[in-house]
Structure 1
């Protein structure tokens, strides 16, 4: 460890994290190129060639030219995922929510003494079946 000072270690880690961030950005841009439905096949091929042949310049130009629409596509995808999640939760909760409400009403009727334990058990079995 004496032949590799702490400052050099930090410098190496900085370059490593910049390298990782660079690949993250590269994959993000390539994903956005293919996700964009308004861009035609030749446009996608052109951007992809530019990004892969001249990566630093290509990504810089792509972010300058299409950065705003990239953000809008990200927001649109997040909203669609949120809507699908809400729909799934509502569908799942809706299928069990009716049974829970009915069981609660039955329990209240049993607690008030309006129905017997046997009637409660039969109705409960019918609801849960």
Structure 2
């Protein structure tokens, strides 16, 4: 009967250690992601944190969360609220067909385009594909 309880507690201990290991891996990955998302931290700082994380991982995670933990939330928030820059390709309002046809007529009158090209532009302005 003693071996049954010993096996039971061995399994419980295995689950606890496994859970702690998964939580620890999650913490290390979260810290690594935060290190490389931080735009205020220069390359040497990122390299130093990464080296410490490789060689002294448990202590580094604790120190990082204590020292820079408040900023971790701030670095996560802009991710979902991304706004493209003002000059990013914004859809242009469609010109009215009449104004496009008028512009094409001025071009054909000036001799810049041929009457065939004018007809093609007029057809396109009116929504015809060809």
- Judge same fold: TM > 0.5, yes or no: yes
Q: CA deviation at 1:4?
A: 5.2
Q: In structure 2, what is the equivalent of residue 36 of structure 1?
A: 38
How many residues were matched structurally? 83
Q: In structure 2, what is the equivalent of residue 6 of structure 1?
A: 8
1:40-82 deviation digits (Å, cap 9, x = unpaired): 01111111111111111111111111101011111222333xx
Q: In structure 1, what is the equivalent of residue 19 of structure 2?
A: 17
In structure 2, how many angstroms separate the alpha carbons of the residues matched to 1:4 and 1:34?
45
The structure having more radius of gyration, on CA atoms, is: 2
Q: Which has the higher helix share?
A: 1
Q: CA deviation at 1:3?
A: 7.8
Q: CA deviation at 1:7?
A: 2.3
Aligned 1:106-125 pairs, distance under 5 A: none
TM-score, with length taken from structure 1: 0.57
Q: In structure 1, what is the equivalent of residue 55 of structure 2?
A: 53
In structure 2, how many angstroms separate the alpha carbons of the residues matched to 1:31 and 1:48?
11
Q: In structure 2, what is the equivalent of residue 71 of structure 1?
A: 73
TM-score, with length taken from structure 2: 0.56
Name structure 2 gaps, 5 residues minimum.
85-130
Q: CA deviation at 1:5?
A: 2.4
Name structure 1 gaps, 5 residues minimum.
85-129
